[in-house]
Structure 1
């Protein structure tokens, strides 16, 4: 007989139970709670928290193995030509399918999901919601806070056989459970932090969850790394998101609609329903800077933004939505360093002169045209986003986890240690910054979407090595990035030297979730 064990995690929240329950019941909550270092949400929940609702996930191997294989697969799919990546099997990143079904539900009190198929012998997860004791976690208005108790009953595969191995069975079984529960603690600590910080964000930006107005937000690039989290953050707060997609197969209901940024077509009706449009669409920058790639990077951003602004212009004045447009710190130029005054790169500076700076300047110029139509325009100049699911961090992880990581050997930088400045931002923070721009009507103009504590490349490598418990002193030869990206591509991306400041963002009232690099990395990687 397979022995079932019980794991419990308790989360204390200074928010009333009806608010916590409402957040959990809203679309997007599961995406927000899903740790990127541990699993990938494939689909669902099909019917919210109701009995019978199903969710499909892909589960990574625990610990460093899962991080390594997932990051290596993501890196290959980013840097290799599409003709090659299209033939890569899903097994290149060994994640196991998981199907869960909700089997119990009590409004405001509990719900339960059970594994239907997956890598474990059994899994039953009961989510319990109770009022906190008086004084334990009171809300801002003095009401009782909430205790969320996650109770997991599980059995490991081949557990009964393992326990019967002569001489080592008991010890081996105990070790397997200890490792598995350590992984559960990592995941539930991540979930608890996201839940608390999302609730704090929505309390500071009143919406349906807290008795405030509901916004309708049209989003391009909704399926990307940042767009996925932004949409989930907004919908879990009760707001409506309309996703603008290019593939007809992705149109699944009233809240998805087609657009073609290069042909200049978009659903004017959908934009007319929106209070705000968020434009995050654009060809990925990673790749060799060939003339074709550079044209795709430029056209996808500039013509896409032009398509949206032209559509906004066709709408009656009273129906025109605000525009929150993507941008990047590439605006300042790859060699910007600390700026002309040595105090950091602030939003009022002129753009740089290299290729990416020109792309971003043209991109922002198209967005500013919407301001001439009498609508609010925000451009968010995003830094290096920290996530194991994509971007620079994903590309660095395999080397660091193999013990061969270190600072990139570059042309040098203008920092105190001679290496380039790295202006970074946590994945949850960039989603929060964009949502802040959507929901706060006082936010207008350009903002650096970066953390307030930029670091040098050497400091970044040292901190990542410490978080992963791997060496990080050996410089990584620069020929690797140049081989993959070409000299121009490497110079403007991995070798870029940019120290952006976040003063204007913080002054707007945004509360940074992870202002320090070590904390941001530990959260993103479950360390």
Structure 2
């Protein structure tokens, strides 16, 4: 049993091989619907060791085999036992051969990527994983070539979060250096950051800062939660932006949100030039963006990434909704007529990458798909991808219990038809602008093209 999977990547073999050798490649290829997280990446494709932390405290250990290594052409890894930490996996055999062959395509130099796995797991279960991995490889390489950015040093706050983990892996696998700004004792590749008093040398040698840190907006909107949302953004963002300006950093990219537009803007199409809305989140985002611009007067190019509903199988809204819809219990929420402005997870990573490397990007940027949908359409698409019905209307009492009345109105029932006008002006290409394509990629329900 096992699987063989191959595809042709429109990139030269040296480029494809180099990508696999860099930190972050393993993380970029880990399907979001699979359990586990990258615990350790292999330091060498010849004889390194990679570890994946699984539920229940088990560790999947992949040992690279020097006998199967051919520089620039092939590497091999095997699952190996590691005592009690992998006791539940003892019966799992996994021998994975990765091979690369230069070929020609209509676009020029290309690479045939061939994976062969000897395991007890059947191809029906494995194929979505390899379709995902090859798609990620092709898309990431294409985006790196499109941006054509020289190597930079980028400091990132919130690097261990959902977005930060993916963005740092994208950057390092593209050949850039990432410095993770952390609030605990710093380790390798990290610097300790005090949000209330950033050290004078915190950003020494840094070309760009990406500021992602901030308390999650998900939770019951009581006084304590509102305080966490606001205090984690207002103040620390200004201090970091001022430190960036004083250190000669060229670019300061800050997270923001489409909450700027308020919770209900009716049928209006909301571009970056649209005015701010009303409500708690609108006020927080307005102040947050003002703080992020603290270094603009000193010549820093500031970008505020106004993010919509992020679709990822690993976290956020989709991670919560999947089991509900899988059980056949999903359906239109509170009538389903409100607009939902969403973005595929990897498209969000691309927006941050463009904000870092494209000097034409400045000010607020709507990080949303160009194809917003009504909530009832979202429900129907998600149910269709999972082969489940979406006929049971979902009452608003569920979100109200989880988020409170204010949170329900400003998050779950927010009616915002946001358009990515700034990105459109730059001819930005989205990987997955269609909702069905994004859901299939993030949930492992791809429709595979003929090999």
TM-score (norm 1): 0.80
Find 1:439's aligned residue among 354, 357, 361.
357
Greater helix content: 1
Equivalences for residues 455-494 of structure 1 within 5 A:
455-494=373-412
Q: Distance in 2 between matches of 1:501 and 1:314?
A: 34
Partner of 1:148: 113
Question: 2:220 aligned with 1:288, yes or no?
Answer: yes
Question: 2:133 aligned with 1:191, yes or no?
Answer: yes
Find 2:187's aligned residue among 246, 249, 252.
252
Q: Output one character per residue of 1:481-518: Cα deviation in whole Å (capped at 9) or x when no partner.
A: 11111100111101100110012212223210000000
Q: How many residue pairs were aligned?
A: 436
Question: 2:60 aligned with 1:98, yes or no?
Answer: yes
Question: 2:96 aligned with 1:125, yes or no?
Answer: yes
| Aligned-pair CA distance for 1:310 | 2.4
Partner of 1:398: 323
Q: Distance in 2 between matches of 1:267 and 1:240?
A: 20
Preserved contact between residue 2 and residue 123 of structure 2 (Cα < 8 Å): no
Q: Distance in 2 between matches of 1:291 and 1:47?
A: 46
SS at match of 2:23: coil
Preserved contact between residue 15 and residue 138 of structure 1 (Cα < 8 Å): no
Question: 2:289 aligned with 1:364, yes or no?
Answer: yes
Partner of 1:217: 154
Preserved contact between residue 271 and residue 321 of structure 1 (Cα < 8 Å): no
Partner of 2:448: none
| Aligned-pair CA distance for 1:480 | 1.2
SS at match of 1:524: helix
| Aligned-pair CA distance for 1:58 | 4.1
Q: Distance in 2 between matches of 1:234 and 1:337?
A: 38
Find 2:238's aligned residue among 284, 299, 306.
306
Residues 21 and 479 of structure 1, relative CA distance in 2, 3 Å threshold: same
Q: Distance in 1 between matches of 2:420 and 2:249?
A: 29
Q: Distance in 2 between matches of 1:338 and 1:451?
A: 17
TM-score (norm 2): 0.93
Partner of 2:368: 450
| Aligned-pair CA distance for 1:401 | 0.8
Q: Distance in 2 between matches of 1:9 and 1:268?
A: 51
Q: Distance in 2 between matches of 1:308 and 1:57?
A: 33
Structure 2 stretches lacking a partner, 5+ long: 446-451
Equivalences for residues 346-385 of structure 1 within 5 A:
346-385=271-310
**TM-align CA RMSD:** 1.6
Q: Distance in 1 between matches of 2:388 and 2:126?
A: 23
Structure with max Cα Rg: 1
Residues 216 and 290 of structure 1, relative CA distance in 2, 3 Å threshold: same
| Aligned-pair CA distance for 1:138 | 4.8
Question: 2:258 aligned with 1:329, yes or no?
Answer: yes
